[in-house]
Amino acid sequence: MAQPARNAASAHRILPEPPVPRPPGEESLDVWGFADSGFRVNAAGQVEFRGARYAISGKVIPSLLPWAETILGVALDPADRHASGYPTALPPRLANESLERALASRLPAERISTDPSVLLRHGHGHTQEDMWAVKHGRLARVPDLVVWPVSEEEVRLVLELAREHGACLVPFGGGTNVTDALRCPPEERRTIVSVDLRRMNRVLWIDPVNQTAEIQAGATGLEIEAQLDRHGFTLGHEPDSIEHSTLGGWIATFASGMKKNRYGNIEDIVLSLRAVTPEGALAREAAPRESVGPDPARWLFGSEGQLGIVTSAVTKVFPTPACRRFGSVLFHDFESGFAFLHAVQRSGAVPASVRLMDNLQFQFGQALRPERRGLAALKGRLERFFVTRLRGFDPARMVACTLLFEGSVDEVAAQERAVYRLAARHGGMRAGAENGERGYQLTFAIAYIRDFMLDHYVLGESFETSVAWSEALALCANVKQRLWQEHAKRGLPGKPFASCRVTQLYDTGVCIYFYFAFHYKGVENASEAYAELERAARDEILGSGGSLSHHHGVGKLRQPFLPRVFSPAALAWRRRLKASIDPENVFGGGNG
């Protein structure tokens, strides 16, 4: 098949250095994140954050557990832990000797593994069900083999061998999905091979004239940004999971980052891609805009590993912004903060990131403040006095909005003027760059809290939706109320933590993230109880006009809801597309 030449106009392209290899063991296998970081109870019985990567690293966080006790209405004894049973028992491995011999003859031994801990890690992402299963339950099926290709040719080879020897393939990016997308179908009797793309992590070229780059699909966000930054560029895609999720995973899940207001969602950033599919290769560089009928490469967006393996993509890149400034604003209540967001979107002066926390999340952010002593403690008390007593903000109603402005110095200055003027009009009070930066960066450390709280009998998770401006406030209220009702109906302990934030803005609506947690000590089958409540919340979201997902995807978690969002004809199209491209169901991960 004729393919257009790759890298045709390459004279001015920069060829970046490959990324620094990640040290082995850098990432935890049984909990979120880097092995050197995370919350723990120290010898003095206080909560602290280990490591040195984040602003709260190495700091004691005295208010977290007392605050959680108040909100959850239960006593949390730091010494009372639900010991993790990781690694839980693995199902028997389904070997395929002929395939394994063929792979061993073509790939180096160090790029094939049947190590149980490796198989286990490749059989899940980061839903509460996933993390519960690896600590307190069991995964019914995991991959039987993991391979690490280093080139598109090797990906093609793995696919050819899988077809020849009757195996099933599941592409693996960073393993950070939150939809059970990497859960292996328990009924799958073929050998399942997890194809881990993370050794394909290079930015192949940067085109500074056209502001494009070709990036291999297994590169994590951190690796991409490090390679681009050396040449004065950024991708601008910053999901909360940026440290560990990959370009291929972002494409396969329709990901969205915190700075989408400026740089766009993944489908806006990726211009074209290369993929290895059972039907053959998809391989072309698209022009800046085209009218060529449906482009099959676009079907890979949201494909969740079902249609083939994305090997690289040509993306937009943006000059590293000359100016980057954080900000924050306090509002008297969620409604006025929300009205401010609407006005910001209508003004056209939308900062790279605008996030509005509800009161509970604002309180949560305060509870995560590291211990302050001496002058810093005094300053904190004075600030609180000023905000609550002098400016009249009610601690039980007030909300916070964090802002990140990026662009040229003039652009940022103009946006700041417009945004703060609108904030004042909605009763907002500027709360400073320091608080804005703290709130923004805390996102990366908060990702570690779920595993910590799980050890202390608190089960939590986040889930998202998008909804029209006109329906958003009602949706937030309905979902929280439903969670409280369902929690009470089941007689679960204490009170639920049900909170939300608005994270992305569109002309027509917003993305809303919910955070939900409850105390599960003494609850039989707590993970399933949680899953039931999450399903009830999704039912409420759909009933209130929200979407099935804004950016997490469908996976297996939200699959049962698909008939509520697509017509029978649309579902038939989806099934037929899959069946015609992959008639043998080589990509048998069972998603979407």
Helices (H) and strands (E) in the chain, counts: 19, 20
Specify the stretch interacting with ligand FAD by CB under 6 A; choose among 18-26, 80-88, 246-254, 289-297.
246-254
Q: Is 315 in the site for ligand FAD (CB under 6 A)?
A: no
Q: Is 123 in the site for ligand FAD (CB under 6 A)?
A: no
DSSP letter string, 383-415: HHIIIIIIS---TTT-EEEEEEEEE-HHHHHHH
CB atoms within 10 A of CB 580: 10
Name which of residues 551 to 570 contact ligand FAD (CB under 6 A): 551-553
Q: Is 240 in the site for ligand FAD (CB under 6 A)?
A: yes
Q: Is 255 in the site for ligand FAD (CB under 6 A)?
A: yes
Q: Read off the tokens for 67.
A: 């605050």
Q: Is 407 in the site for ligand FAD (CB under 6 A)?
A: no
End-to-end CA distance of the chain: 30
- Closer CB to ligand FAD, residue 487 or residue 551? 551
Q: Which residue type is seen at 291?
A: S
Q: Is 304 in the site for ligand FAD (CB under 6 A)?
A: yes
- Closer CB to ligand FAD, residue 253 or residue 272? 253
Q: Is 588 in the site for ligand FAD (CB under 6 A)?
A: no
What is the three-state SS of 296-317? HHHHHCCCCCCCCEEEEEEEEC
Name which of residues 423 to 462 contact ligand FAD (CB under 6 A): 447
Q: Least separation, in Å, of the C-beta of 509 and ligand FAD?
A: 17
d(C-alpha 185, C-alpha 188), whole Å: 6
Contacts of residue 119, defined as CB under 8 A and 6 or more positions apart, other chains included, come to 90, 93, 113, 142, 143, 144, 145, 146, 194
One of 31, 146, 310, 479 touching ligand FAD (CB under 6 A): 310
Q: Is 496 in the site for ligand FAD (CB under 6 A)?
A: no
Q: Which helix (H) or strand (E) holds 539?
A: helix 526-543
Q: Is 591 in the site for ligand FAD (CB under 6 A)?
A: yes
- Closer CB to ligand FAD, residue 38 or residue 249? 249
Name which of residues 533 to 552 contact ligand FAD (CB under 6 A): 551-552
- Report how many residues bind ligand FAD under the rule CB under 6 A: 38
Q: Is 358 in the site for ligand FAD (CB under 6 A)?
A: no
Asked if 30 and 84 touch (Cβ cutoff 8 Å), the reply is yes
One of 123, 149, 236, 248 touching ligand FAD (CB under 6 A): 248
Q: How do beta strands 112-113 and 145-147 pair? A: antiparallel
Q: Least separation, in Å, of the C-beta of 79 and ligand FAD?
A: 27
One of 13, 126, 325, 480 touching ligand FAD (CB under 6 A): 126
- Closer CB to ligand FAD, residue 197 or residue 354? 197
Q: Least separation, in Å, of the C-beta of 171 and ligand FAD?
A: 4
Asked if 241 and 174 touch (Cβ cutoff 8 Å), the reply is yes
Residue 527 CA from chain centroid, whole number: 20
Active-site choice (263, 440, 513, 515): 513
d(C-alpha 266, C-alpha 268), whole Å: 5
Specify the stretch interacting with ligand FAD by CB under 6 A; choose among 12-20, 34-42, 303-311, 566-574.
303-311
- Closer CB to ligand FAD, residue 309 or residue 422? 309
Q: Calculate the alpha carbon distances from 573 to 447, 476, 576, 579, 591 in Å.
A: 37, 33, 5, 10, 15
Name which of residues 75 to 94 contact ligand FAD (CB under 6 A): none
Q: Least separation, in Å, of the C-beta of 375 and ligand FAD?
A: 34
CA angle 553-555-559, nearest 5°? 100
CA atoms within 13 A on the CB side of 21: 4
Report the candidate in 76, 102, 237, 247 with the shortest Cα–Cα distance to residue 164. 102
- Closer CB to ligand FAD, residue 272 or residue 478? 272
One of 246, 345, 435, 465 touching ligand FAD (CB under 6 A): 246
Q: Exposed/middle/buried for 92, CB within 10 Å: 0-12, 13-18, 19+?
A: exposed
Asked if 181 and 592 touch (Cβ cutoff 8 Å), the reply is no
Asked if 90 and 142 touch (Cβ cutoff 8 Å), the reply is yes
Q: Is 500 in the site for ligand FAD (CB under 6 A)?
A: no
Q: Is 201 in the site for ligand FAD (CB under 6 A)?
A: no
Q: Least separation, in Å, of the C-beta of 212 and ligand FAD?
A: 19
Q: Is 143 in the site for ligand FAD (CB under 6 A)?
A: no
Instruction: For residue 515, indicate whether it is catalytic.
Output: no
Asked if 19 and 219 touch (Cβ cutoff 8 Å), the reply is yes
- Closer CB to ligand FAD, residue 240 or residue 279? 240
Q: Is 174 in the site for ligand FAD (CB under 6 A)?
A: yes
Q: Least separation, in Å, of the C-beta of 246 and ligand FAD?
A: 4
Residues forming the active site? 513
Q: Which residues bind ligand FAD (CB under 6 A)?
A: 32, 125-126, 170-178, 181-182, 197, 217, 239-241, 245-246, 248-250, 252-253, 255-256, 304-305, 309-310, 447, 551-553, 589, 591
